[in-house]
Amino acid sequence: MAIKLFDSFSREIRELRNPDPNNPADVFSFYNCGLTVYASAHIGNFRTFVINDVLRRLLILEHGAGKVRYVRNLTDVDDKTIARAREEGRTLAEVTKEWTDKFHADCDKLNCLPMEAKFEPRATSYIKEQVDMIDVLMKKGNAYRAPDGSVYFKVSSFDHYGELSRVKERELKLGSALKTMAADADEKDDVSDFALWKAHKDEDGVNSWDSPWGRGRPGWHIECSAMSKALLGTTIDLHTGAVDLLFPHHENEIAQSECCNGQQFSRHWYHNEHLLVDGKKMSKSLGNYYTLDDLLAKGASPMAVRYALLSGHPRKQLNFTLDSLHAAESAIKTLREYRATLPAGTTGAHDTFGHVLAILQDDLNVPGALGAVFTLVNRKAGEADLASFDRVMFALGLDLKAAEPAKASAPANITALAEKRWAAKAAKDFASADALRKELTAAGWSMLDRKDGYSLEPLKK
RNA sequence: GGCGCGGUAGCCAAGUGGUAAGGCCGAGGUCUGCAAAACCUCUAUGCGCCGGUUCAAUUCCGGCCCGCGCCUCCA
């Protein structure tokens, strides 16, 4: 069956295109706007990437890995990356490499399928392609060079501008309009026009490239248009990102690409909603700004973070709280223990969990799918089979093995106490055993008795 | 002001024109010397408010209130 997904352009749930299984060249092309690599990604970023990862996994299950081409870019040149490099007295490449590596490590921990290097393009590796596109836009009359050497896209030259975000129905709030006008109003013919190429400024330092319009660097939007075209072709099947990219980023991409190529840019658009923390958008001033490391430092497991990020419908704002991590941790534990009860080696003939995938395929209803999983889990193994369960866990990207809590090794003094208690218990000296348990508790350790031995775990706060 | 998303139990969160999935927490119980785990049971006459349509609305329509996001380089 086809995967259905809300389309931001038509504002209805539509089926995604099925690639032709008999034509090796026909792949499902999928572009996901990636991260600007100047600092650690935060969990709001990861909500988007985890959601896209689930979508990617569903497509792979449906069509096979070879039929899905997923591109996610890295923005490695912009005001923020350049500013960071200047502040730290390092090269742009050094800064962006550091944060790219960090991003990859975090994605790994969250069990996102790895990117193929060539499908994770960096803006600075595609300068030529961007210049070429701008060149076409200049020649077609969709762009103009401003006195300072910057090149702007002429919004009035594209009749369909604003159809994605309904920008024509919007009224700019005075404050926003003033802010824009203050920035580069002198250079632009119209406040709506946006930069394709930014003339070199002193702050840019060595981070500029030659172009027919003088030295400078690409504007933000053009990189996605150019890299999408280079790797996926002029018309792609799906373009995704979080809601904040809907306008102006994606609107501008459509304008550039369609004016340049004369073809539809993307058949389908999908935008997930934001993650909120404590009911508000994350911000450092509110103190509700979390990176993955922040949560791991609080004792969360990466899988719990992933689960928590998936616990709301992707098209609804999700309010993330530390409590939701605890809930996720417990839920994953239940899934892990349930999995252990399933007989190994089953064939999947029953496909007990098949309808869960169907729920996921219906507009990526992750919470609905999780509910359906637990409904079955509560019925116990029964007819359930491991292959079917694992397929759903794969789709959700929940690696239950990775979710095993790390066994902290107890220090020698704790081990000694535990040994004494185990001996006391064996001797049926329960008074001593209880006293020793209290000592262990006071020292922050919990002793878990089994028939044949015991284990020690640090007490959770 | 415009555009968009939403308001469902203590918290989180699906869903449906026919009488409310699921997770967490909590309570009771079974079982273990204790503790933990596991297992069983229970937890919204109610789905922001007010009208309307209907045999029937949380679900459709209208109005209102409230929260959040975006409004030109934020995932």
Quick check: A53 pLDDT over 90? yes
- Dist. CA A239–CA A236, nearest whole Å: 7
- Dist. CA A320–CA A274, nearest whole Å: 10
CB-CB contact of A224 with A73 (8 Å): yes
Cβ atoms within 10 Å, residue A378: 9
- Dist. CA A444–CA A461, nearest whole Å: 9
Q: What pLDDT was estimated at residue A188? A: 82
Name the closest nucleotide to A193, judged by C1' and CA. Answer: B72
Cβ atoms within 10 Å, residue A217: 24
| A418-433 b/e (C-beta count within 10 Å ≥ 16 → b) | bebbbebbeeeeeeeb
Q: Closest residue to B75 by CA to C1' distance?
A: A45
- Return the bridge partners of A449, or none: A454
Instruction: List, for residues A55-82, the tens digit of each pLDDT value.
Output: 999 999 999 999 999 999 999 999 999 9
Which residues in chain A, range 102-141, keep a C-beta under 7 Å from any nucleic strand B atom? none
CA of A104 to C1' of B25 (A): 35
CB-CB contact of A408 with A445 (8 Å): no
Which residues in chain A, range 39-58, keep a C-beta under 7 Å from any nucleic strand B atom? 42, 44-45, 47-48
Give the pLDDT band (50/70/90) at residue A406: low
Q: CA-CA distances (angstroms) from residue A52 to A201, A203, A313, A366, A452?
A: 36, 35, 13, 12, 45
CB-CB contact of A151 with A144 (8 Å): yes
Mean pLDDT (whole number) for A260-273: 95
Q: What pLDDT was estimated at residue A315? A: 93
Of chain A, the end-to-end C-alpha distance in Å amounts to 46
User: Tokens in use for A204?
Assistant: 């840019």
Give the pLDDT band (50/70/90) at residue A114: very high
Q: What pLDDT was estimated at residue A186? A: 63
CA of A316 to C1' of B46 (A): 23
Give the pLDDT band (50/70/90) at residue A185: low
For strand B, is any atom closer than 7 Å to the CB of A191? yes
Burial of A196 (0-12, 13-18, 19+ CB in 10 A): buried
CA of A405 to C1' of B54 (A): 54
Q: What pLDDT was estimated at residue A350? A: 75
Q: What is the DSSP string of A396-446?
A: HT--TTTTSPP-PPPPHHHHHHHHHHHHHHHTT-HHHHHHHHHHHHHTTEE
CA of A13 to C1' of B19 (A): 28
Determine which of A5-14, A71-80, A365-374, A404-413 has the lowest per-residue pLDDT on average. Answer: A404-413
For strand B, is any atom closer than 7 Å to the CB of A172? yes
Quick check: A453 pLDDT over 80? no
Q: What are phi and psi of A331, to 5 degrees?
A: -65, -40
CA of A173 to C1' of B2 (A): 8
- Dist. CA A138–CA A76, nearest whole Å: 25
CA of A366 to C1' of B12 (A): 14
- Dist. CA A296–CA A292, nearest whole Å: 6
Quick check: A404 pLDDT over 70? no
Q: What pLDDT was estimated at residue A181? A: 47
Give the pLDDT band (50/70/90) at residue A198: very high
- Return the percentage of chain A with pLDDT > 70, whole number: 91
pLDDT greater at residue A276 or residue A180: A276
CA of A423 to C1' of B34 (A): 15
Greatest mean pLDDT range, A120-124, A188-192, A454-458: A120-124
DSSP code at position A317: -
Name the closest nucleotide to A166, judged by C1' and CA. Answer: B3
Cβ atoms within 10 Å, residue A137: 26
Q: What pLDDT was estimated at residue A343? A: 79
CA of A10 to C1' of B5 (A): 16
**ipTM reported for the complex, 2 dp:** 0.93
Q: What pLDDT was estimated at residue A405? A: 53
For strand B, is any atom closer than 7 Å to the CB of A398? no
Give the pLDDT band (50/70/90) at residue A414: confident
Beta strands in A231-366 (DSSP E): 238-242, 269-272, 275-277, 280-281, 318-320
For strand B, the positions having any atom within 7 A of a protein Cβ are 1-6, 11-15, 21-25, 33-40, 67-75
The residue whose two tokens read 């995967």 is A3
Q: Which CATH number fits domain A17-272: 3.30.460.80, 3.30.1490.20, 3.40.50.620, 3.30.70.20?
A: 3.40.50.620
Instruction: List, for residues A156-169, the tens digit of each pLDDT value.
Output: 999 999 889 887 66
Instruction: List, for residues A77-90, the tens digit of each pLDDT value.
Output: 999 999 999 999 99
Mean pLDDT (whole number) for A434-450: 82
pLDDT greater at residue A314 or residue A177: A314
Instruction: List, for residues A147-157, the tens digit of each pLDDT value.
Output: 989 999 999 99
Q: Where are the domains of chain A?
A: 17-272, 275-396, 412-458
Quick check: A451 pLDDT over 80? no
Give the pLDDT band (50/70/90) at residue A382: low
CA of A288 to C1' of B11 (A): 18
Name the closest nucleotide to A434, judged by C1' and CA. Answer: B34
pLDDT greater at residue A4 or residue A185: A4
Name the closest nucleotide to A441, judged by C1' and CA. Answer: B35
Which residues in chain A, range 371-390, keep a C-beta under 7 Å from any nucleic strand B atom? 371-372, 374-375, 377-378, 380
Which residues in chain A, range 321-350, keep a C-beta under 7 Å from any nucleic strand B atom? 321, 323-324, 326-328, 330-331, 333-334, 337
User: Tokens in use for A106?
Assistant: 């975090």
pLDDT greater at residue A111 or residue A401: A111
CA of A323 to C1' of B27 (A): 20
- Of A165, A252, A237, A197, the closest CA to residue A19 belongs to A237
Which residues in chain A, range 65-94, keep a C-beta under 7 Å from any nucleic strand B atom? 78-80
Q: What pLDDT was estimated at residue A26? A: 97
Give the pLDDT band (50/70/90) at residue A289: confident
As a three-state string, the secondary structure of A150-174 is CEEECHHHCCCCCCCCCHHHCCCCH
Average per-residue pLDDT in chain A? 89
Mean pLDDT (whole number) for A15-24: 95
Q: Return the sign of the alpha-carbon dihedral for residues A309, A313, A317, A322.
A: negative
Which residues in chain A, range 250-309, keep a C-beta under 7 Å from any nucleic strand B atom? 272-276, 279-282
Q: CA-CA distances (angstroms) from residue A396 to A29, A54, A325, A389, A405?
A: 21, 6, 17, 11, 19
What type of residue sits at position A19? P
The residue whose two tokens read 């001996």 is A423
Cβ atoms within 10 Å, residue A251: 24
